[in-house]
Every structure is written in structure tokens, then in C-alpha cells.
Amino acid sequence: MQGSLIPNEFVVDVDHQRCRRCKRCILNCGFGVFDFQSMTTADSSKCVACHRCVMFCPEDAITITRNPLAFKEHSSWGIDSRKAIWKQAESSGMILTGMGTDLPWLNVFDHLLIDACQVTNPSIDPLREPMELRTYLGRKPDKVEIEVDDKGKPRAVNSVENNIKLETPIIFSGMSYGSVSLNTHRALAIAAQRLGTVMNTGEGGLHRELYPYKDNIIVQCASGRFGVHSEYLNAGVAVEIKIGQGAKPGIGGHLPGEKIGLEVSGTRMIPVGTDALSPAPHHDIYSIEDLRQLIYALKEATGYKPVSVKIATVHNVAAIASGIARAGADIIYLDGFRGGTGASPAVIRDHVGIPMEIALAVVDSRLRQEGIRNWVSIIAAGGIRSSADVAKAIALGADAVGVGTAALIALGCRLCQKCYTGNCSWGIATQRPELVDRLDPDWGAERLVNLINSWSLELKEILGALGINAIESLRGNRERLRALGLDSTVMEILEVKPAGV
Amino acid sequence: MIELAFQEKFSKWRVDDARVPAACGLSGLISQDGRAVGGEVIVESMRILRERGNGLGGGYAGYGIYPEHKDYYAMHIMFEDFQGKKVCEELMEANLEIEMGEEIPYRLVEGICDVPLLWRYYALPRPERLEGDGLQADDFMVKLVMDINTTVPGTFVFSSGKNMGVFKAVGSADTVGEFYELENYTGYTWIGHDRFPTNTPGWWGGAHPFNILDWSVVHNGEISSYGINKRYLEMFGYECTLLTDTEVVAYLLDLLIRKHGLPLDIACLVLASPFWKDIDSLGDQTEEDLEKSLRIVYGSALLNGPFAFIVGYSRGMVGLNDRVKLRPLVAATKDECLYVSSEESAIRQICRNPDRVWAPPAGHPVIGKLKGDV
Ligand code: SF4
Ligand code: SF4
């Protein structure tokens, strides 16, 4: 039988003059590239360019290059199209992938510019003046009712007590235990606690060991109901109903049985080694009334903690979001089509949904037109790469943003997009104990804290340049954004003026 | 066709964006016992602040100036031509019972030209129209004023409260005072404004004070949070259509105090909210809960950026700075009279020996309240 017709993507080269045969690369590579027969050898066909070997080779002996193999150029039939066809001709299946889409779609964030003060209004120096990023997530009343007691002292009657306090408007997005390792969850939980923000469990339940972090956790309840029980629902500050995910709107999930070891099995409440299948829809939600029932069921189960509803940003997102707000949700989590995933069919990841930036703008505007913006907080996620993206998302109308991919990159992820294989060399998207062990949660937490603190500092610098000293004055303030290189239709939808106006 | 749609949008933005960054002089006084003060007093105070303006806009608001019509909404309107006046009066006739309409008296003075038609009307909503719309009289008037200002060409209602009036023009504040013959009016509260716009729209309506019903605002500074304040107000039906960000101050006060029923000092906690670190260390749970709720619920109403403003309303006057005090504001008292101004000199010009002079801290309102009735 003939072997594969697909050429290697990368070429691994071991410099045998430098190599001192320590075999570290063999241990480190999660994908089994290296072997040792009298000297270190590499099977380039298995390499995913995760760089683990390169970072750990003590002699700098390893070089990974893109396979320079020439293909006959063709402007319609790119190399990736040809490879995809070979792959499917060999496998008869969907092409799986991990992480967010890698196609060069227009990135709206890269066409938005932020304002600054000059002369007529002074900028503010964040090193000298307070600069406030604190954010509260949850339903807010339309107005504060005041009652004055007999001594003339005013008191707020309606409470905002169950709003979630964040010290910075950045949270960690849901990544399930099972798709990522327990050490990844540990790092996220420790970091969230130290930062005064929250991590989202994703759909795989929460390992009991992390219950002490309950003030910094949002627990998720998805269509598979993995690990959902009453104690779990109360193990966080809020519950999230996951309807959809940006990387794979409208489809379910599939965590292969190999990833369901003893700990994952215990947490997810499914037998060891069985595939964890999340249905595409929730089988108890076929319309907005059903969603309302689940929202209130979860509120009843948790003593009325906030309920978040996570949706993928699809074409009709504004109307859907309005329905969700009216169904009683306290938070709407918009996951854009650039959002990450542990595993998704490439065709869905790359072609379904709309950019979060646009969805966020239309949802915020729609909720305002309907006068119900105060009812819900909006979390925007799916493609937040830097503090500039955070600032732009907030100016478009987000209360806070969710970061998933950026957090994993901080933990070492190289965006090799092979998460679905379970072989992540960085100990992130894997359950293989020897790989999981190499991610030290404390080390990871420190890197996450550093990252979010850096972004927070940069956000304060941006606020200062804008001449404002509280994040709420940037929120929804599209007046402080200008578009460069967007067409007039997109600008109109975003309600952002062109640069120069 | 797409090209054209863009043009339309573009022109809309142009108007919207013509909000003018301005540095200005402010002065205000209230006699809390209701004693009448002549309009020439505030003009005298503003004369000292001439340095802070550039002759491109000045104005005043006086309260208690129309005692004989005090139950009617006094509408001050400027028209570019008689055509606009005709259309506007038809619209008013359909909605209001007009007790009287007359030209606002003025004298020609040097430095003031291109005078529009300046009229005032004392009017009340027609009861049948109120019932038809199911609105309170105040809400009805706000809506009518906004309708006129957005739909009737060349027409601008520049004040609409009861027993009060705004007088403003393109010119320096002292000449504007002379132009309107303010010495012929007496009131218990006066506020004044001299303007230094950094471009020249040359539009009378663009001068301060800005007024909506009872609220008149004079403002020095720029509201950097304008974009979100405007979008927040739009949720409650306010349309920010003027050439300045100052209108959001007036609309926010109207929303917070008249519609949401917040006391004035608490509304000020919304507009220039305390920092979280101060809220966290209040030490009094009730106060902490209150201030926390206000920030959480009204974050979009926080006025951010450098400002000092003075607001006049029928029951009082308030001066307020932004939360880090990036624009000057001084206050003084003498007997029952409270003075607030950009500069101490402007107060001393009309009150030689104040009992007390102080610089209000950032974000702390100075409030003068009318005692009893007038
Ligand atoms: S890690 Fe480097 S030095 Fe060690 S065996 Fe591999 S290539 Fe050689
Ligand atoms: S998490 Fe691991 S497998 Fe997934 S893209 Fe990152 S490095 Fe690759």
C-alpha cells in the first residue's frame, strides 16, 4: 500500500556536531519526533513546530524550518487547499484542528485607532493620579432607589450585591478540564485569585481541589452537563450556560476517550475511557423560553447568583442577545469567530460565525436602543491579543473581555493547533501524566499574573492619554475610536467615524 | 448609491463632531434667602473674567426673573428668519396654550452683530395633548423642545424653564449682558459664562448657558467621556444634537434628579464619583453601599475629563469640579449669598469682603439652596 502523499510541513534538523546525545528532546517531544539509534534522529513528518525540543535542547542543536519544498504556484489552488484534499482523500473524514482560525480574515481591531488628548483637555499621568479599572459584572437596576432614614441619612434600597467584582476588566475564558490539563486549570485559578478576576471552568466540571478558589471561578454548564451537580453549581461566583463557542458555532464537542483518565472521569462524572460527547444543542433548550427556564433553574439552585449565557457570534447576534437579556441572563458572553478551541472541524472554525468586534458593536447598540443595556454585562472574547484589543473592545461596548488563547500562549503554547491530539508538549492540552507534570501551576500562575498586570498597566496608560481616569468612561465610548481602512458599511455598523473626522 | 449614503452620514457626523473644546470663565451667585439681585451684578463679575473668553460667546441665566408669569414655561427662542418662526409657532399652537409672546428686548451694542429674531413665549401644554401623549407636563415640554430643535429649520429654543430665562449671544459676556439689558431684570440666582472656543462656529445657540427646562449649565472644560454619556442619555430618550458636550450635563441632571428622583448632592456623586479607594475606606457600610451602587449603576453617567461647571435651577445652584480638579473653581459666602466662580477676583469684584473664601476640593459639590419660597 502506498503511504501518504502529503509532504511534511516542517523539517527538523539535528546538528550532530553540537548534539551531546542527552536525549532530552526525545523526552520532551509530545509527538514522538525524536528517536535514538547511535545518534539522535528526527522524523520530520511528525513535527508540529511546538518548539518544545528547541527550547530544551542544552546545545542549541535543533533547527526547525518550514519545508522549503517547492509547489507549482496557483492562485486559486493554494498549498493548503491541495493538502486538505490529499488528507481527506486518504482519511475519508473531517479535518480536525485546534485553536482559532488561522485564515487571514479582516481583523477589525487592526483598523481601529484610539484617541488621545492634546492641549484643550489634559492627559492624566497614571503614575501620579488614580486610574481605575475596577469592573462589576452582572445585572444592574435602571436606577438607584434612595431611602432617607429619620436622621436624614440616605440609603440605597435596591442592591447590586450579586455583581461580580473584577479588579481589571479581563477574565480567563472557559477551557474545560479534559481538553486542558489540571495543571492548566490550577494555574488559571491561582492567577485569577491573585489578580482579583475570575476564570471560567469550561464545560468539564471543576476538580474538587479547586473548590477553594470559588470567589474567582465561574462554573459552566454546557450541553453535555459534564460534572454538573449542585455543589459544583455553587462552587463559583456565577454560572454560565454555554450555548455556543466562537470556534465552532452550532456544533457540539467531542473529547476522545483517551483523554478521560481517572481524575477527568471523576470530575466529569463519566466512566474512564468513554468519549465525552457534548450535543450540538442543549436537549432541553429548543427556544428562548427554554433558555429562560434553565436560567431560572440555575438561579434557584444557586441562591440567585448571576447567570451568564455564552454564545458564538452568528449573523443574527443582536436579536439573540436581546432575547437572552430578556430571558433573565445577567451576563452575555460573546465568543467571536476567532475564538479558540481544543478541537473543531476546520471547515466550521474557518468559515462559520462573524467577528466579535462587529457582533459586540451591534449587540451593545441593540441593547441600548431597547433601553436594556443595564440589565446585562457583556463579555467579549475570541481574538483578544493585547491591551490595545482590550481597550478597543471596551470602547465598542464590552464590560470586560475574556482571554483564552492569550493565556495559553503565556503558559508556553506555540499555537501549533494540535490540541485535539492530546499530545501537547507544553503540558496544556493534554492528559498524558508525563506531559501534564511539566507545567508547574505556580510558574504558570506567575506568568499569567505578569501578563494581565502588564495589560492592566497599558490600559491605564491608554486611559491617561484619553484624559479619563475610570474604565467606565471608555466603555461604549466609540467617540474615542476612529477607523482606518474600513469600508463605510462596516463603519456605520460599528458606529465609528473614519480617521480625520 | 453607497457613496451617497456615506455622504449623508458624513454630514451628520460633521455636525455632531463640531463640539467645541473650550476654555472659559464662569461665575454664579445665589441669594439663599430669595433676595432679588439685579442682572448688572453678574455682568460686573463676568467683566473681570474677560481674559478667559475670546469674545465668541457669552451668556447668562437668571432665576426668579419672571414673577408675573411664574406658572408658565418661559420659552426663549431664536429664529433665523420669519419662515422658521411661522413653522415653530404653528407647532407650538398645536401643543401649547400660549399666554403671551413678545420680542426679547435688546439694545444694539458694539461687538454684537448678526442678531437673530429673539422671542419669548409664556406657555403651558394643552391638557388634551398631555392626555393624548400620557406624559407629565415636564416630559411633554422636554419632548417638544427637542422636536423643535431637531425639526424646525433655523429655530432654536434656548431656554424653557419656569420663572427663569437664558440670555446668550456671540460676543463677550459683558457686552452680551449690555445687549440684553440685564440691568432691567432681578433674580435670586444668576450664572454667567464667557467662552473661548478653539474654533468659531459663530452660532448663538452654541454659547452657554445650556438649558433644558429648569436646568441651566455653564461649563468650562471638555467632557472626555462625552461619547458614552451621550449614548447613555439616548437610552432614556434624550437627543444630544447641539454643538457642545455641555448639554449632557443638563440632560444628566434632568435624568438623575427629575426622572430618577436622586437628591442633588447624590446626583453630584454620580457625575464626579469618588474613587474606589475612597469608597472602600468609608468605614460606614450604608455610605459604602450607596456610593458603590451609584458607581455600578451609573458608571456611564460619570463625567470624566477636565471640567468645572455651575448649574442653576429654580431651587438652587451648584458648582462642581471633575474628580481630579483639572479646571479652576472658587467659592465664597457673604451672609446668605453664595458665590462660585473660576476666579476669586470675579467674586471680589461684586462682593468686597466675603465671610469665607475657599477652593472646593475635586469632585466636591458646592451647593446653595433657596430657603423658603420666592
Ligand atoms: S536535546 Fe539537543 S543535545 Fe540533547 S539529544 Fe536532543 S538534540 Fe541532542
Ligand atoms: S495548547 Fe499545546 S497543542 Fe494546543 S496549540 Fe498550544 S502548544 Fe499546541
Q: pLDDT tens for residues A84-98?
A: 999 999 999 999 999
Least confident of B1-10, B98-107, B156-165: B1-10
Q: Residue B176 in contact with residue B167, Cβ under 8 Å?
A: yes
Least confident of A324-333, A477-486, B141-150: B141-150
| Residue A59's CATH number | 3.30.70.20
Secondary element (H or E) of residue B368: strand B366-369
Reported confidence tier of residue A461, pLDDT bands at 50, 70, 90: very high
Q: Which residues does chain B have within 8 Å of residue A470's beta carbon, measured at their own beta carbons? A: 273, 299, 302, 304
3-state secondary structure of B23: strand
The domain of A274 spans 164-498
- A380-430 pLDDT, tens digit per residue, is 999 999 999 999 999 999 999 999 999 999 999 999 999 999 999 999 999
Q: Which residues does chain B have within 8 Å of residue A472's beta carbon, measured at their own beta carbons? A: 228, 295, 299-300, 302
- Residue identifier of the C-alpha nearest atom 6 of ligand 1: A25
Same domain, A87 and A169: no
CA distance B315 to chain A (A): 19
Give the mean pLDDT of A361-366. Answer: 98
Reported confidence tier of residue B132, pLDDT bands at 50, 70, 90: confident
Last residue of a domain, one of A73, A93, A113: A93
Q: Cell triple for residue A454? A: 502588564
Report which of A358, A356, A362 is spatially closest to residue A385, judged by C-alpha positions: A356
Position with higher pLDDT, A468 vs B8:
A468
3-state secondary structure of B170: coil
Structural domains in chain A (count): 2
Same domain, A83 and A173: no
> What is the C-alpha separation between A26 and A23, in angstroms, rounded?
5
Calculate how far, in angstroms, residue A38's C-alpha sits from the geometric centre of ligand 1: 13
Residue type, B298: Y
- A96-123 pLDDT, tens digit per residue, is 999 999 999 999 999 999 999 988 778 8
Give the mean pLDDT of B152-178. Answer: 94
Q: Does B221 touch chain A (CB under 8 A)?
A: yes
Q: What is the pLDDT of residue B131?
A: 80
Q: Which residues does chain B have within 8 Å of residue A468's beta carbon, measured at their own beta carbons? A: 224-225, 304-305
Strands B22-31, B337-341: parallel, antiparallel or unpaired by DSSP?
Answer: antiparallel
CA distances from A133 to A73, A165, B30 (A): 50, 11, 38
| Residue A488's CATH number | 3.20.20.70
Give the mean pLDDT of B137-159. Answer: 91
- B209-236 pLDDT, tens digit per residue, is 999 999 999 998 888 999 999 999 999 9
CA distance B260 to chain A (A): 6
Report which of B45, B53, B186 is spatially closest to residue B111, judged by C-alpha positions: B53
Q: What is the pLDDT of residue A483?
A: 98
Residue A364 resides in a domain: yes
Cβ separation B227–A129 shorter than 8 A: no
Report which of A105, A117, A356, A139 is spatially closest to residue A246, judged by C-alpha positions: A356
Q: What is the pLDDT of residue B23?
A: 62
Residue type, A111: H
Spell out which residues line ligand 1, taking CB within 6 angstroms: A 14, 19-25, 40, 57-59, 61-62
Same domain, A81 and A168: no
pLDDT at A238 over 90: yes
CA distance A484 to chain B (A): 15
Residue B212 resides in a domain: yes
Q: What is the pLDDT of residue B24?
A: 84
Average pLDDT, chain B: 88
Reported confidence tier of residue B53, pLDDT bands at 50, 70, 90: confident
Q: What is the pLDDT of residue B71?
A: 95
- A345 preceded by a cis bond (ω within 30 of 0): no
Q: Residue A310 in contact with residue A241, Cβ under 8 Å?
A: yes
Residue A139 resides in a domain: no
Residue B308 resides in a domain: yes
Residue B354 resides in a domain: yes
> What is the C-alpha separation between A316 and A358, in angstroms, rounded?
11
The domain of B9 spans 2-369
Calculate how far, in angstroms, residue A26's C-alpha sits from the geometric centre of ligand 2: 18
- Residue identifier of the C-alpha nearest atom 3 of ligand 1: A19
Matching residue, cell 465561574 = A218
Cβ separation B286–A155 shorter than 8 A: yes
Residue B301 resides in a domain: yes
Least confident of B122-131, B237-246, B257-266, B324-333: B237-246
Cβ separation A159–B273 shorter than 8 A: no
> What is the C-alpha separation between A497 and B14, in angstroms, rounded?
10
Task: Give the mutation target among A51, A56, A62 for probing the ligand 1 site: most ligand atoms within 8 A of CB.
Answer: A62
Cβ separation A159–B289 shorter than 8 A: yes
pLDDT at B369 over 50: yes
CA distance A141 to chain B (A): 7
Q: Residue B30 in contact with residue B189, Cβ under 8 Å?
A: yes
Calculate how far, in angstroms, residue A26's C-alpha sits from the geometric centre of ligand 1: 8
Angle between helical axes of A182-195 and A441-466 (0-180°, round to 10) = 40
Report which of B188, B150, B304 is spatially closest to residue A468, judged by C-alpha positions: B304
3-state secondary structure of A462: helix
Give the mean pLDDT of B67-75. Answer: 96
Give the mean pLDDT of A75-80. Answer: 94
Residue A116 resides in a domain: no
Q: Which of B221, B262, B273 sits opposite A146 (nearest CB)?
A: B262
Q: What is the pLDDT of residue B7?
A: 32
Q: What is the pLDDT of residue B243?
A: 55
Q: What is the pLDDT of residue B17?
A: 37
Same domain, A86 and A171: no
Atom of ligand 1 nearest to the CA of A60: 2
- A6-32 pLDDT, tens digit per residue, is 999 999 999 999 999 999 999 999 999
Strands A307-312, A238-242: parallel, antiparallel or unpaired by DSSP?
Answer: parallel
CA distance A466 to chain B (A): 7
Residue B131 resides in a domain: yes
By CA distance, what is A396's nearest residue in B? B228
Last residue of a domain, one of A70, A93, A116: A93
Residue type, A305: K
- Residue identifier of the C-alpha nearest atom 2 of ligand 1: A57
CA distances from B307 to A240, B31, B155, B217 (A): 41, 25, 29, 12
Residue type, B321: N
Q: Residue B296 in contact with residue A374, Cβ under 8 Å?
A: no
3-state secondary structure of A269: coil
Reported confidence tier of residue B146, pLDDT bands at 50, 70, 90: confident
Q: What is the pLDDT of residue A253?
A: 87
Task: Give the mutation target among A15, A28, A29, A40 for probing the ligand 1 site: most ligand atoms within 8 A of CB.
Answer: A40
Return the C-alpha torsion angle B181, B186, B191, B192, nearest 10: 20
Calculate how far, in angstroms, residue A45's C-alpha sits from the geometric centre of ligand 1: 18
> What is the C-alpha separation between B197 and B199, in angstroms, rounded?
5
pLDDT at B18 over 50: no
Q: What is the pLDDT of residue B44?
A: 95
Same domain, A83 and A186: no
Q: What is the pLDDT of residue B52?
A: 76
In chain A the first and final C-alpha atoms are separated, in Å, by 66
Structural domains in chain B (count): 1
Residues of B labelled catalytic = 24
Name which of A127, A372, A477 to mutate to probe chain B: the one with the most chain B Cβ atoms within 10 A of its Cβ.
Answer: A477
Give the mean pLDDT of A339-353. Answer: 94
Residue type, A119: V
Q: What is the pLDDT of residue B111?
A: 87
A470 φ, ψ (degrees, to nearest 5): -145, 140
The secondary structure of residue B104, as a DSSP letter, is P
Residue B374 resides in a domain: no
Predicted structure pTM score? 0.92
Q: Which residues does chain B have within 8 Å of residue A141's beta carbon, measured at their own beta carbons? A: 297
Position with higher pLDDT, B199 vs B280:
B280
Same domain, A56 and A188: no
Give the mean pLDDT of B145-154. Answer: 89
Position with higher pLDDT, B246 vs B63:
B63
> What is the C-alpha separation between A464 and A126, in angstroms, rounded?
6
Name which of B3, B24, B225, B294 to mutate to probe chain A: the one with the most chain A Cβ atoms within 10 A of its Cβ.
Answer: B225
Name the burial class of residue A300, with classes exposed (0-12), middle (13-18) and buried (19+) by CB atoms within 10 angstroms of its CB: exposed
Q: What is the pLDDT of residue A256?
A: 85
The secondary structure of residue B67, as a DSSP letter, is G
Last residue of a domain, one of A68, A93, A118: A93
Angle between helical axes of B285-297 and B264-271 (0-180°, round to 10) = 60
Same domain, A70 and A192: no
Same domain, A307 and A427: yes
3-state secondary structure of B45: helix
- A200-221 pLDDT, tens digit per residue, is 999 999 999 999 999 999 999 9
Give the mean pLDDT of B265-273. Answer: 95
Q: Where are the beta strands (DSSP E) in A276-403?
A: 276-278, 307-312, 331-335, 344-345, 377-381, 400-403
Q: Residue B319 in contact with residue B14, Cβ under 8 Å?
A: no
Number of inter-chain CB pairs under 8 A, A vs B: 133
Residue A1 resides in a domain: no
Residue A481 resides in a domain: yes
Q: Which residues does chain B have within 8 Å of residue A159's beta carbon, measured at their own beta carbons? A: 289, 293
Residue A128 resides in a domain: no
| Residue B165's CATH number | 3.60.20.10
